[in-house]
């Protein structure tokens, strides 16, 4: 059984994951309109992944005797300026989500809810991967600079990151 404090915190995380999905969906749409097909595909996949994170939390809260709540989401912005700025925002957002997960883990220790602590370890590991991927992408973007040919290759390569991630066995 979840404590009231932990249930409230998990519901806040459900909202964060849902909003993350919306933010990445907006980024995907923006990239697609700009003709950045690879980046759009990558961002659509990121959006789907965040929705799965949300669903996993919803099911967990309900299974533990709580009530997962679906709340109103704030609308994400529609324009990201440049793809460089968009990926910088992606990294900043992943750091925000990591901090939120860390806060949740802290509450599980305060509440001595070791089952939820154990459950959240998957999210901790996932956030390490998400931040590392965003940093790798930003490193590649910095190598490109303003080179249009580099942007073309990057757009194609980022689509491969998505394909490779989907083909990787779980835990790899």
Name the residue ranges covered by the structural domains of the chain: 4-167
Mean per-residue pLDDT, 143-171: 70
Distance separating alpha carbons of residues 34 and 82, to the nearest angstrom: 10
Confidence of residue 164 (pLDDT cuts 50, 70, 90): low
pLDDT at 106 over 50: yes
Tell which wins on pLDDT, 118 or 151.
Answer: 118
Mean per-residue pLDDT, 5-33: 98
Distance separating alpha carbons of residues 28 and 36, to the nearest angstrom: 9
- The tokens describing 59, both together, are 């099911």
The mean of the pLDDT values for the chain is 91
pTM: 0.89
Mean per-residue pLDDT, 143-169: 71
- 4-167 carries CATH number 3.40.50.1370: no
């Amino acid at each position: 059984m979840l404590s009231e404090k932990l249930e409230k915190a998990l519901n806040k995380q459900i909202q964060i994951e849902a909003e993350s999905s919306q933010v990445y969906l907006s980024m995907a749409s923006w990239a697609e309109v700009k003709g950045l097909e690879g980046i759009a595909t990558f961002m659509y996949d990121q959006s789907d992944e965040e929705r799965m994170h949300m669903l996993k939390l919803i099911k967990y809260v309900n299974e533990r005797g709580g009530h997962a709540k679906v709340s109103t989401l704030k609308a994400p912005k529609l324009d990201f300026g440049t793809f460089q700025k968009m990926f910088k925002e992606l990294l900043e957002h992943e750091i925000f989500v990591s901090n939120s997960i860390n806060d949740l883990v802290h509450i599980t220790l305060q509440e001595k809810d070791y089952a939820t602590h154990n459950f959240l370890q998957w999210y901790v590991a996932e956030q390490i991967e998400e931040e590392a991927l965003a940093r790798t992408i930003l490193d590649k973007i910095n190598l490109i600079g303003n080179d249009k040919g580099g942007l073309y290759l990057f757009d194609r390569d980022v689509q491969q990151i998505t394909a490779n991630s989907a083909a990787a066995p779980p835990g790899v």
